[in-house]
Amino acid sequence: MRLQGKIIFISGATSGIGFASAQRAIAEGAFVVFSARNAEKIHLIQQQLGQQSLGFQCDHSCLKSQQSLIQQLNEKHFKFDSVFLNAGNVHHEQFGKWTEAAFDAVFNTNIKGPFFLLQDLMPLLNHECSIILCGSTSIHIALEQSSVYAASKIALRSLVKTLSRELLQHKIRFNLLSPGPTLTPALDKVASSEQVKIQLQNEIKNLVPIQRLADPTEIANAFIYLVSNESKFVIGTEILVDGGVANL
């Protein structure tokens, strides 16, 4: 029970990496507070995760929605030992076809939302809190159509370094967890049909040296390490769980 007694907040936890991370954290003894946009999904996930969890509705691209979340967390008197900002917008598009609205949607969810949520969460963080931001191996490779998405994620890499230094006196650790291609429902958002989805999966597999996509649990295993006391000497860095995409 590596997380016994810890209280952890996870954003975007109703599917994929966020859900797998919540499941693993609970299995290791933590109480998980989680958020997502869809109230119906929150209810279903709450039933699956059980009494060691509590879900809240929040659109992390909207600062007003996040402020409402903070108010609710304050009312419950939560103090967090770890925070995993996992909610993200994975929209990809060809250069020349981007609209301002699509650009803003990606940056609002992937960098603006996390930045201001961290500011508001500061009074709710316990001593030696571990904060993990969800990056992407895309920041290390020149993947077509990923220009805006990768730019938003590399901004998180910078944030991890600068905030680790700026908040040293608060004994808060920031780290970036960067998954490689992972089999999650996010693929449905970038594929227009099942045939396109299968074709996309095969193309993605060819990017990965070990020729497969990750299971969300494999990313969640790295998350458990970063929130546990085992990683107390890990700060301001990036952990790649990408099947060798960035380095081979």
Per-residue pLDDT at 191? 63
Supply the range of the domain harboring residue 149.
7-241
What is the C-alpha separation between 196 and 198, in angstroms, rounded? 5
**Residue 133 falls within a domain, yes or no?**
yes
- Domain annotation covers residue 1: no
In a domain, 248, yes or no: no
Tokens encoding 133: 């931001």
pLDDT at residue number 103: 98
Q: What is the pLDDT of residue 190?
A: 63
| Assigned token pair, 13 | 């936890």
What pLDDT shows up at residue 192?
62
Q: Given its phi and psi angles, is residue 109 left (phi above 0), alpha (psi -120 to 50 degrees) or beta?
A: alpha
* Number of domains within the chain: 1
Does residue 66 lie in a domain region?
yes
Q: Can you give the pLDDT at residue 229?
A: 95
Residues of the chain with pLDDT under 70: 187-192, 197
Residue 17, in any domain of the structure? yes
Question: Per the domain annotation, does 131 fall within a domain?
Answer: yes
Q: What is the pLDDT of residue 66?
A: 98
**Which candidate in 9, 34, 107, 149 is catalytic?**
149
The string of DSSP codes covering 152-175 is: HHHHHHHHHHHHHHHTGGGT-EEE
Assess if residue 103 is contained within a domain. Answer: yes
The reported pLDDT for the residue numbered 10 is: 98
Ramachandran region of residue 244, left (φ > 0), alpha (ψ -120 to 50) or beta?
A: left
CATH number of 207's domain: 3.40.50.720
149 catalytic per annotation? yes
246 inside domain: no
pLDDT tens-digit readout, 44-99: 999 999 999 999 999 999 999 999 999 999 999 999 999 999 999 999 999 999 99
pLDDT tens digits for range 89-110: 999 999 999 999 999 999 999 9
Q: Which of 53, 86, 78 is nearest to 153 (CA)?
A: 86
